[in-house]
C-alpha cells in the first residue's frame, strides 16, 4: 500500500473552528507529525503514533513526514491556523522539490484552515474588510531590509497589514522597528490590534493607536493587525469598540 501525507490546518485554537475535513483526516491518520505545542491540541487514539518536535526545523519535520508516507503510513502533518500560511505546507513542498524523486508520486493533500488573522479580525469586527496583506516579521529566512520594503509598500498603498511571527524571544526588536517604520507613513490614530491566543481560554485582545503601540504587547502567540487610514472605530457604551475597514475607498 502506498502512503498518504495530509497537511492540515487546525484553525486558531478552538475545536469549534476546525473544519470537519481536518478532523476526519486526523482521525484517519496512522502518524501525527508537528510542533509539539500543536500536537498537544489533539487527543491521539490508540494505534496512532505521535511525532512531536520543537518549533523551527520545519524542513526536517517535513522530510520525516515524507519518509513515513513513503513507507506506507497515513501521515497527518499539523499546523496551527491555515497550513499554507507561514506554516508547514510550504516546508513540505520545499522538501519534495529538493528531495527524493519518488516523493513526487505520493498522495499529498492540503486541508485549509481558519487563519489567525481572520479569527482575530472576527473578534473585533471586520478590520480586513478591504484590501489587506500578510507579512511575516521573521528575518530568519529573509533579509530584514526586504521586510521593511514590504511594510513600506503595503502601508503606502493603503493595505491593512497582518503581521505574523511578530515577536519571539529570539527576535525581540523586529516588531518595534516595524512599528517605528509604520509611524512614519500612517496617521498616528490608525488602530493596531494585538490579538493573543485567539479562541483559546486565555485569549486577550488590545486595540491601541499606532502612536502608542509598543512591542511588549506581543509574544509568540500574538497576531498583530495594523489598520489603514480608512479603518474605522465604532464606539460603544460599556463594551469594547468595533473596528471595520469600509468596502469603499476614496483614493
Residues 19-38 that bind a copy of itself (CB under 8 A): 19-21, 24
Write down the least CB distance from residue 242 to a copy of itself, Å: 6
Residue 8 DSSP SS3: strand
Q: Does 48 bind a copy of itself (CB under 8 A)?
A: no
Q: Which stretch binds a copy of itself (CB under 8 A): 127-135, 171-179, 186-194, 215-223?
A: 127-135
The three cell numbers locating residue 103:
516523493
Q: Does 181 bind a copy of itself (CB under 8 A)?
A: no
Q: Does 113 bind a copy of itself (CB under 8 A)?
A: yes
Length reported for the chain: 251
CA atoms within 13 A on the CB side of 97: 7
Write down the least CB distance from residue 235 to a copy of itself, Å: 8
Choose between 2 and 214: whose C-beta lies nearer to a copy of itself: 2
For the segment 69-108, give every residue that binds a copy of itself (CB under 8 A). 82-87, 89-94, 96-97, 104-105, 108
Q: Are 165 and 80 within 8 A, CB to CB?
A: no
For the segment 209-248, give every residue that binds a copy of itself (CB under 8 A). 232, 234-237, 242, 244-248
Choose between 153 and 212: whose C-beta lies nearer to a copy of itself: 153
Q: Does 249 bind a copy of itself (CB under 8 A)?
A: yes
Residue 5 pairs in a beta bridge with 75, 108
Choose between 62 and 218: whose C-beta lies nearer to a copy of itself: 62
- Give the binding-site size for a copy of itself (rule: CB under 8 A): 79
Strand extents, DSSP E, the chain: 4-9, 31-35, 49-53, 74-79, 107-111, 125-126, 132-136, 160-164, 191-196, 204-209, 222-226, 232-234, 242-244
Choose between 128 and 213: whose C-beta lies nearer to a copy of itself: 128
Helices (H), the chain: 20-28, 36-39, 58-70, 88-97, 116-124, 144-157, 174-185
Strand extents, DSSP E, 198-246: 204-209, 222-226, 232-234, 242-244
Choose between 133 and 220: whose C-beta lies nearer to a copy of itself: 133
Write down the least CB distance from residue 144 to a copy of itself, Å: 12
Q: Which of 40, 71, 157, 211 binds a copy of itself (CB under 8 A)?
A: 157
* Among candidate residues 144, 140, 143, the one with its CA nearest the CA of residue 57: 140
CA 106 to chain centre: 26
Amino acid at each position: 500500500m502506498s502512503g498518504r501525507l495530509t497537511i492540515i490546518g487546525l484553525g486558531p485554537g478552538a475545536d469549534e473552528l476546525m473544519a470537519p475535513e481536518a478532523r476526519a483526516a486526523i482521525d484517519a491518520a496512522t502518524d501525527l507529525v508537528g510542533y509539539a505545542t500543536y500536537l498537544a491540541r489533539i487527543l491521539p487514539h490508540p494505534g496512532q503514533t505521535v511525532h512531536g518536535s520543537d518549533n523551527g526545523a520545519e524542513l526536517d519535520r517535513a522530510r520525516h513526514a515524507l519518509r513515513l508516507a513513503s513507507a506506507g503510513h497515513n501521515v497527518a502533518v499539523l499546523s496551527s491556523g491555515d497550513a499554507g500560511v507561514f506554516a508547514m505546507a510550504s516546508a513540505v513542498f520545499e522538501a519534495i522539490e529538493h528531495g527524493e524523486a519518488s516523493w513526487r508520486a505520493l498522495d499529498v493533500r492540503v486541508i485549509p484552515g481558519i487563519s489567525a488573522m481572520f479569527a482575530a479580525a472576527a473578534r473585533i469586527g471586520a478590520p480586513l474588510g478591504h484590501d489587506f496583506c500578510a507579512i511575516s516579521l521573521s528575518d530568519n529566512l529573509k533579509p530584514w531590509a526586504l521586510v521593511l520594503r514590504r511594510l513600506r509598500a503595503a502601508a503606502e498603498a493603503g493595505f491593512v497589514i497582518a503581521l505574523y511571527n511578530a515577536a519571539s524571544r529570539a527576535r525581540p526588536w523586529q516588531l518595534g522597528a516595524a512599528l517605528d517604520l509604520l509611524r512614519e507613513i500612517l496617521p498616528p490614530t490608525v488602530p493596531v490590534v494585538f490579538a493573543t491566543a485567539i479562541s483559546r481560554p486565555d485569549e486577550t485582545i488590545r486595540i491601541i493607536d499606532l502612536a502608542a503601540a509598543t512591542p511588549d504587547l506581543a509574544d509568540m502567540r500574538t497576531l498583530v493587525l495594523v489598520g489603514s487610514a480608512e479603518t474605522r472605530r465604532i464606539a460603544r457604551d460599556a463594551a469594547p469598540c468595533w473596528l471595520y475597514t469600509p468596502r469603499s475607498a476614496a483614493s
